[in-house]
Structure formats: C-alpha cells, structure tokens
Chain A
Amino acid sequence: MSGTIEFFIDGRPVTGRAGQTILEAAEDNGIYIPRLCHMKGLTPYGGCRVCTCLVNSRAQAACTQPIAPGLIVDSDSEAVREIRRQIIEMLFVEGNHFCMFCEKSGSCELQALAYRFGITAPRHPYLFPRREVDATHAGVFVDHNRCVLCGRCVRASRQSDGKAVFGFVGRGPGRRVAVNASGGLGRTEAATADAAMRACPVGAILVRGEAYATPIGRRPYDHQPIGSDVEEGGTP
C-alpha cells in the first residue's frame, strides 16, 4: 500500500496516510470535524453521527470512513452543518440536559458543540424521559439523564482498563448504558482511576469531589469553541 493519499476536504487538497479515517486525516491537516462519540485511543464507533460529512455526495461518518485517493469530502457546507445541528438538537431533547446545575457545564462536549453551532434552542419538542441515577460507587456517580449513548465509557472500560464495567442493554429508544453487576456501579470492579470514568463527553459519568473546581471564565469552552486547538495546531 502506498504511503500518502491525496484527497479533498471542502475544496482544499489534503494528504493523509493509508489506513487513516477522514476525521484523523482532517485533524492532521488542521481541519476540525465535529464529533462526540469519537475519542483518541479508542476504536472508532460511528454512533453519534455528529461527524457526518458528504463523501462523494454520500453522507458518511468521518470517524469510521477510511480515506481514499481523490475523495471529495464536504465538511462545511450549509447542508452538512444543518445535519450536524439537527443531530445535536435531537441529543438535547432526547435526554434531560440541565446545564444550569450540571458539574460538567463549561467542559461538556455536547454543550460545546451546541455553542460552536450557535444553537440557542432546539427545534424539537423535549421528551423529558425518566432515567435513573446510580450513586452506589464511592468515587463515581452515573446520571443516565445526561447520557448520550456515545459508548465511550463502554469502549474505554474494555480497551483501556481491560474490564467490562459498562455495556449497552436494550434497543431503540430503550437503549441505555448498564453496568455488569445488578447492584449498580458500586458492586462492579470499577475504580475511580479507570479511564472509563474520564471518557464521558457529558456529565453522565462524573468523578466525585471535583465539582465546579474551575471557575466560570476559565473553563475549556468559555472563550474558545470546541475544536479550536485542532484548527490552530494543524499544518494547512
């Protein structure tokens, strides 16, 4: 396999290495493609679809689609932005996202994506589902109200921690993250230091005792949109 692959993102010629996904190659070229379920060091999942691009005019998840010579990737047209905006808005109405008192506010990736897209209110009716809170673990609590089913905790527990503390159960609207003990997280082999406890993009899995440590104004997304680091750090 030849080493370098040339293709196009938003009309710009870019290069990537064979085996890279569109999202990874874009990042190496200083182009940020919004994402939620993707996390460096974990296998790509393609679950949230926030990274949707039009690849040769077909909607594809950039985090799972490998690059190929001559691909034409549209990642910033109004059509693509509208797809992503709709997905983010749907994530907000499907759960119970009370940003005003959430510990994750200011460093939450879902919230940061909404900020980046300038969303002031979702256009869909709120569902207000009834979800559980699991406070059985001494070092970590799980609030399913905020879960967006990105599966990052599920993958991090298996791939980084070598455990299988979290897993998906149920299908369709009934799908949720469960733990591998009937008595809640406190009855599993989960440890506070596990990578899975830091993998959550929202406030669904939070390590206790760290709430509101960073004052408003100094949190990651207070001044800079999510992805700014990629856009600045790349080599265009």
Chain B
Amino acid sequence: MSKPAIATTSLAGCFGCHMSILDIDARILELIDLVDFDKSPIDDIKRFSRTCKVGLVEGGCCNEENVEVLREFRRHCEILVSLGDCAIMGGIPAMRNMVPLEECLDEAYRSGPTVYNPSGEIPGDPEIPLLLNKVYPAHEVVKIDYHLPGCPPPAETIWQALVALLEGRPLDLPYELIKYD
C-alpha cells in the first residue's frame, strides 16, 4: 500500500512555519517513512497529483491567488490544518486590516517618506494577483479542521499533530504546546 501524502503551502506568510517544520530535525527521516510530500515548497512540486491525507496551510489570504490556492488545498486535502498565527488570525500582514486598502497602496507607492515614484502609478499588471480588501484568516475562507497556533508553532507541536492525524488519533496537544508566540 502506498504511503499517505501531505501537502503544504505558504500563503500570506513568511515561511517561518515551514522553517519550524524543518526544525523537527532528524525526525524528518521518520516523516518521509510515514508520508510522501505532494504539492509543497519543500519538494517544489507545484501541482496536486492526488488526494492528500493532511494539508498544512501557513499564512492567511491577502490576495486572490491565496484564495485560489487555499480552495485548491481544501479540495485535495482530507484534513486541512491552519499552521501558525497568520493562518489563524492574519498575523503581521493583517496589521493593514485597520487601514483602508486605498490608504495602504497610497502609502506604499505614492506618499510614503522613502517612495520615489514620479508617475504616481500603483502596480496594476494583470500578472500581479489582486489584493483583497483585507487579510483573511484561512478559516474565514474555507473550512479548516485543526489550528496549530504559534509564531511559529514549535516543531514539537507540528510533529505531534502530524503523527496523530496520520495515525487517525484525536489531536490532544499538551498545555505547553499551545502558544501564540
């Protein structure tokens, strides 16, 4: 029987949570005995090739591409997990949520103290994904099954959660592994 697959992605995140996945150290060898990686920046596979048992989502949704990828993850993953504070509450990118998008773009491309942009143009190339009005936590866009908080979540949290989910056990993290920082 072939191994179950997992997929990971970083949406509006900083890849810190992926660093924390790698922080399981030598246990990554045990992990590849347990699973195959499908779509993930870790193996650089860009498209889903099958249904995955677990999908790990880092980061919230700040643009339309994030939403598209997140929906694709929901379609292809049996269990979808929000990994880290950005996926759970928007995180640092969500600090723009208190400011209207128009003002954000104006500050970044026109009136910011270090901006040099004589034409005053705001990038609008069709290749660039459109920004959303605000940054949305993953569970406000699709159904999320589990949340692993932390900035980033400790490697131990990720390891214990992954093994439990892959073995079909309930996820019961001890007190010290649920942290928001």
Contact = CB atoms under 8 A, between A and B. Distances in A.
Nearest to A117: B178
A202 B117 CA distance: 41
B6 interface: no
A129 B98 contact: yes
Given A100-B85, A130-B98, A225-B175, A121 B149 contact: yes
Contacts of A105: 180-181
B176 A222 contact: yes
Q: How large is the interface on B (under 10, 10 to 19, 20 to 34, 35 or more residues)?
A: 20 to 34
A99 B85 contact: yes
Contact of B92 (A98, A128, A225): A98
| Chain A CB within 10 Å, residue with most, of B151, B175, B176 | B175
Nearest to A125: B140
Interface in A111-137: 111, 114-115, 118-122, 125-126, 128-131
A128 B176 contact: no
Nearest to B146: A120
Contact of A115 (B91, B99, B178): B178
Interface residues of A, number: 29
Interface in B64-94: 82, 85, 88-92, 94
B181 A100 contact: yes
B160 to A, nearest CB: 13
Contacts of A223: 175-176
B95 A115 contact: no
Interface string A94-108: 001111111001100
Contacts of A100: 85, 91-92, 151, 180-181
Interface in B124-144: 134, 137, 139-140, 144
The A interface, classified by DSSP as helix, strand, loop or mixed, is loop
A120 B148 contact: yes
B39 interface: no
Nearest to B99: A130
Nearest to A102: B181
Given A121-B139, A126-B137, A98 B91 contact: yes
B147 interface: yes
Contacts of A216: 181
Contact of B180 (A111, A129, A131): A111
B40 interface: no
Contacts of B146: 120
A47 B176 CA distance: 29
Given A99-B180, A121-B149, A216-B181, A131 B98 contact: yes
Interface in B8-65: none
A95 to B, nearest CB: 11
Interface of A: 92, 96-102, 105-106, 111, 114-115, 118-122, 125-126, 128-131, 145, 216, 222-223, 225
Interface of B: 82, 85, 88-92, 94-95, 97-99, 134, 137, 139-140, 144, 146-149, 151, 173, 175-176, 178-181
Given A96-B98, A118-B173, A145-B98, 4 more contacts: A115-B175, A115-B179, A120-B149, A223-B176
10 contacts: A99-B151, A100-B85, A100-B92, A120-B88, A121-B82, A126-B97, A128-B97, A128-B134, A145-B98, A223-B176
